[in-house]
């Protein structure tokens, strides 16, 4: 891990960002006291995420059926019948 003061970061930010892209973390310091960390982001997800919130969860086919008219009216602010 690299530790640098803010002035150094301002002067050479692109150099440190190149190192972050290669997997290193940079700790930013103010008067040698750590205040923040710059670290690489995880790689983007490559495959489409399945429907659901948990592994093994299934969504019934009826979930995709159109909503009843009265419920759609409620969402759209139509006056009740």
Whether 22 shows a pLDDT value over 90: the answer reads: yes
The predicted-structure confidence for 49-80, as pLDDT tens digits, reads as follows 666 567 777 778 898 999 999 898 888 887 76
Dihedral (Cα; 19, 22, 23, 24), 10-degree rounding: -20
Residue 76 is given by DSSP the state: H
- Compute the half-sphere exposure of residue 34: CA atoms within 13 Å on the CB side of its CA: 9
Could you tell me the residue ranges of all domains in the chain? 2-38
**pLDDT of res. 1:** 84
What is the residue-averaged pLDDT of the chain?
A: 88
Global pTM reads 0.54
Cβ-based neighbour number of residue 26 at 10 Å:
19
Domain at 2-38: CATH code: 3.40.1620
């Amino acid at each position: 891990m690299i530790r640098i003061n803010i002035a150094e970061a301002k002067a050479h930010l692109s150099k440190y960002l190149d190192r972050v892209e290669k997997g290193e973390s940079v700790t930013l310091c103010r008067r040698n006291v750590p205040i923040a960390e710059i670290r690489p982001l995880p790689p983007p997800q490559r495959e489409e995420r399945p429907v659901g919130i948990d592994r093994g969860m299934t969504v019934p086919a009826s979930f995709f059926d159109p909503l009843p008219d009265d419920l759609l009216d409620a969402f759209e602010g139509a006056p009740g019948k």
